[in-house]
Chain A
Amino acid sequence: MKKLTRRQFMVLSGKAATGAVIFVACGLPERELIVQSPVELPEDLVRGEDAWFATTWGDMPGGDGLIVRVMEGRAKKVAGNPDFPVNAGKQSVRHDAALQLLYHPDRISRPLMRRSKGGALNPISWAEAEIEMINALEAAGGVTVVTNPLRGHLGLVAEQFAALYGGRHIAFDAVEQGVLHGAVDRVFGQSSLPDLDIGEAQAVLSFGADWLSTWVSPVSLSVKYGQFRGQGHRGYLVHVEPRMSMTAAAADLWIAPRPGTEGEVALSIAKEIIDHGWASSGDIGAFMENMPDGALDNYGASAVAERSGVPEERLKRAAEKLGTNRPALAFAGGSTGAHANGSFNLSAIYSLNYLLGSVGSKGGIRSNPASPLSGVPSSATGASLEEWENEIAQWRGGNVRTVIVRGADIVHGLPASVEVKGALRAVPKVIAFATVLDDTAAEADLVLPEKSFLETWGSDIPEPGPGYQTVAFQQPVVGPTVNFDEVGLVSDARGFGDVLLWASGDGLGVSSMEDLVRNASGQLFDLGRRSDSINAPDKRLFFNGALQRGGWWDNGATGDDLGGAAPNFMELGKEAKYSSTVPAEEGEEFHLIPFQSNALLDGRLASTPWAQQSPDPMSSAVWETWVEINKRVAEDLGIIEGDVLFIRSVNGEIEALAYPHPGVPPGVVGVPMGQGHSHGGRYAEGRGQNVMSILTDIKDSETGALAWAATKVRVSKSGLRRKVPKFEGTVEAFPTEPGVPVLVVGPDETAHEAEEANHHLHQQSIYGGKE
């Protein structure tokens, strides 16, 4: 009894104590209990009021107009600018994820310096950094400015700055479009990319380019795809690519040829069209004019079927669809150009447009005009692997004293054969601009905090443009005053452009990116055109208008006519080359097709968790590096999902998680780019593996570009197995019966008819024909 009483007392006192603790825990964070009166109140800081500012993001391919929702001085959402002619208000996962580049917890807030090669990076003040930078620039020796491909005024500044210091500006893009620009120039006589009028076409033939996901200008091309599908008479899409990409999945007919034989496939389609009389004699003439006699003799459907591994029936069906539906257009890029015969492939395919009569016409390929701002780069691509090899030989040879890097992760993106890391160590001073420390900045001697695109002035000239002159303006939508309170991250970043302008003194004639953009607006005003974007009585109002609308465009200013006949592309190197492989005992041989991740691209968005967790469209895999392999082939090799596979080329090996699915051609494995960073903030570091590191240095025979789709690998099991992180399986999604949930209707069939027919089939399968 005594025990009980005491126990009760203890319990009671215990309860009282917990009660008190819970009560205390209900307290609110201090910041919830204050209302701040700022000293000044600009319109974007008013509480509860949301303002949308128009801007653009020059670092993305394409050049889309954006609007950013800003509340109380913080950017909340990035969306497409509905006024802007390129992307018409639409966006991609990359644009939404970009917000996290601004608020990244691992953003570099102060300049960092390494006292000696191999030493640690230590914070220094901007004043010290300025001295370091000036010393590096004034020392004798060459200067190289390395950036991502830059159009618009940032490109202009980088170019002029390099020239001022007697150095050079070299652009880096892991998946550079040099072969594409070269082919377009050869076929149409102008190197800036043309406008593909997919929206008005009745048939489209595309090769290798995953244009709905990552190729060139995916958002604007997707907008056009929507129009293509939405027409009264629905367009027919044929896609040729050795991997089932998003575009291949969207196609009505997908053809998977042996990698590198795409040019031959195109020519067999051309021969079919000519033989069946589906092209006018004028068009045939334009196509064949510069070609030797009998050039197509070798490209009969059955012969090409043999060489490309594509069933003859499919080639003929593709030719029929192209031949009998007009307007029709053909284009190519991506892995089709990433072969030793890449230039031949792309030239052959783009030349098809002469045969289809779609050069310069509605529903075809139309030229883009020259930029209205003279001197400002309107077309950009990365330097070819050959140029990079030459440049890096200069670094290694001690001929370059200072390398300035911005937005180009060359350590991660160049093939291992180039050995960039060692070359960077041979350069006395490497200065990197970075928001988050990437693999290249981690090798630098001086790291300067870079502003995000939401904090800087700039401009972009979209490539490909919408078919008429268009300029996008980039403006800071959040001020540098944004206080990251608890994190203590008061952004001390300065923009790359502004620092270069500062470092060039009066050399470039202006002192800030803002002035450059303002001057550009003045130039556009001086053109005196009444455009449908801005009409203003004076320069000041014109500039306001340009910032409000996100740019300037004049849909009357269209491009010049494209060339009148196809070139003789038969003289180009026609043979695809593949790398040799490691010895046969190291696994089964496959053709490796690396592809750009839908969200991370080549890895430039790997630091943002939103991009990392965005499911891949085909596999729904996330956060990791996986390898796509044909389901039946995997079964034969005893590989199941989650098996850790070794993928070995003659240049090295990576590990990836197996993801077998039926959409992979049997001889091919697909591996996404974008992972395998040794730096890049908490979300990218040490995650997955870098497929670029095992590519061999085969180059396109004409341009010297990296033939990134020409590597052969051997695949073997490591014996380990891990769960593939993926969205698939989170919900139990499986078709319960035919047509559920994805109902497919034939032409002129209604949904109701299809449902009835499917249900009938379903019942037959259950009751064996009796109902």
Chain B
Amino acid sequence: MTTEVFGKHKWGMVVDVDRCTGCQACVLACQVENNVPLNTQERYERARGMAWIRVERYWEGEFPDVKARFIPILCQHCENAPCEPVCPVFATYHNPEGMNVQIYNRCVGTRYCANGCPYIVRFFNYWEPVWPESFRNHLNPDVTVRSRGIMEKCSFCMQRIRRGVRNAAKENRELEDGEIQTACQQACPTDALVFGDIDPDNNRTNPGRAYSMINDDRAYTLLPRLNTDPNVIYLAKVDPDREGGAGGH
């Protein structure tokens, strides 16, 4: 056991929509962790804000029978990712750990991948990221700052995964479930986001938290008819007063 065995894990995330309150803690935690540039007013007005994870809000009905539904959307890390085959320089590819990866130094900025993504979770750097000199102090040194012309997206906090795997190998032990937390999961006050290894073989003897949730009755994936086979699993919102929808009852 001297080298880290790469490809042993298959990372995934379970998002419990029923717990999400739309508080935006995950969004900012992600932005801070991953050196995502400041979204200035101008960027928002041009509809070019960046958020590796975002909370979408949908309205249902009219007052007084109105509901606001929140859903956090991040890169789905699809097994059959539409963004991967279109990249002419292999800057995005599927790695053995089940993640859809963006390699910044390979990216030439064709934006084909962003056009291919049905979840719209890829963001393009139209400008050089700019921070006032003093704000550079809080940049995360573990994450590359992307320059202009580069596509970026959720990496499942790759830097935390690498650090966690390395620490386990250093101490010559197995990685524990829940040891690696993504920034969004760490922030989420209602525990709506659960990240972990969802490979069935790795969960046989001691099932992890994320794995035990993916077969929940409420589990679904986004846009399943596109057959993208995402590694982000959602648990449906519960409405105790919902009527008529249920088919089998």
Contact = CB atoms under 8 A, between A and B. Distances in A.
Does chain A touch chain B in the assembled complex, meaning CB atoms less than 8 Å apart? yes
Interface of A: 48, 71-72, 74-77, 79-80, 87, 89-93, 96-97, 99-100, 102-105, 107, 212-213, 218-219, 222-223, 225-226, 229-230, 234, 236, 244, 246-247, 249-250, 252-254, 256, 311, 314, 482, 484-487, 489, 598-599, 609-610, 613-615, 617-618, 620, 622-624, 630-632, 661-666, 723, 725-733, 735-736, 740-758, 760-761
A77 B140 contact: yes
B71 A732 contact: no
A79 B29 contact: yes
A103 B140 CA distance: 14
Interface stretch (B5-13, B56-64, B85-93): B56-64
Given A90-B188, A91-B29, A623-B41, A74 B138 contact: yes
Interface in B202-249: 217-220, 222-224, 234-243, 245-249
Given A89-B186, A311-B64, A615-B27, A727 B44 contact: yes
A569 to B, nearest CB: 28
A90 B245 contact: no
B17 interface: yes
Contact of A484 (B40, B133, B139, B235): B133
A622 to B, nearest CB: 6
Interface in B61-113: 61-64, 66-71, 73
Given A484-B137, A624-B41, A748 B237 contact: no
B24 A617 contact: yes
Contacts of A311: 64
Given A79-B186, A97-B28, A615-B27, A105 B133 contact: yes
A744 B246 CA distance: 10
11 contacts: A76-B138, A90-B191, A96-B29, A104-B134, A229-B16, A249-B68, A615-B55, A662-B59, A731-B73, A742-B71, A749-B245
B220 A743 contact: yes
A222 B240 contact: no
Given A77-B32, A223-B190, A750-B218, A744 B236 contact: yes
B1 interface: no
Most-contacted residue by chain B among A736, A745, A747 (CB, 10 A): A745
A267 to B, nearest CB: 21
A613 B41 CA distance: 8
B239 A746 contact: yes
B187 interface: yes
Interface in B104-140: 120, 132-135, 137-140
B242 A662 contact: no
Contact of A222 (B64, B138, B189): B189
B164 interface: no
Given A79-B187, A662-B66, A753 B247 contact: yes
Contacts of A662: 59, 61-63, 66
Interface stretch (B45-53, B147-155, B168-176): B45-53
B135 A212 contact: no
Q: Which 3 A-B pairs have the closest CB atoms?
A: A226-B190, A222-B189, A746-B242
Contacts of A99: 32, 138
A279 B24 CA distance: 39
A624 B231 CA distance: 37
B135 A617 contact: no
A93 B138 contact: no
A76 B140 contact: yes
Given A80-B187, A618-B57, A741-B222, A754 B245 contact: yes
A249 B134 contact: no
A230 B55 CA distance: 20
Contacts of A225: 19, 21, 189-190
A744 B70 contact: no
Contacts of B23: 92-93, 212-213, 218, 222, 246, 598, 617
Contacts of A247: 21
A732 to B, nearest CB: 6
B239 A735 contact: no
Given A229-B190, A617-B70, A744-B245, A663 B55 contact: no
A15 to B, nearest CB: 23
B191 to A, nearest CB: 4
B232 to A, nearest CB: 11
Interface of B: 16-19, 21-25, 27-29, 31-33, 38-41, 44-45, 47-49, 51, 54-59, 61-64, 66-71, 73, 120, 132-135, 137-141, 183, 186-192, 217-220, 222-224, 234-243, 245-249
A484 B57 contact: no
A250 B141 CA distance: 37
A617 B190 CA distance: 15
A212 to B, nearest CB: 5
Contacts of B57: 617-618, 620, 728
A193 to B, nearest CB: 18
B223 A731 contact: no
B134 A226 contact: no
Contacts of A761: 245
B88 to A, nearest CB: 24
A736 B237 CA distance: 17
A740 B133 contact: no
A475 to B, nearest CB: 19
B17 A742 contact: yes
Nearest to B31: A610
A665 B63 contact: yes
A748 B220 CA distance: 15
A745 B238 contact: yes
A614 B27 contact: yes
B44 A733 contact: no
B189 A249 contact: no
A103 B241 CA distance: 48
Contacts of B38: 609-610, 613
B181 to A, nearest CB: 9
A632 B64 CA distance: 12
Contact of B246 (A223, A666, A757): A757
Contact of B24 (A80, A249, A598, A663): A598
B190 A77 contact: no
Contacts of A666: 63
Given A487-B133, A745-B239, A92 B189 contact: yes
B28 A726 contact: no
A83 to B, nearest CB: 14
Given A74-B138, A92-B23, A662-B62, 13 more contacts: A71-B141, A97-B28, A226-B189, A234-B238, A246-B21, A252-B241, A723-B45, A726-B44, A735-B58, A741-B234, A743-B237, A746-B240, A753-B247
Nearest to B243: A746
Contacts of B186: 79-80, 89, 91
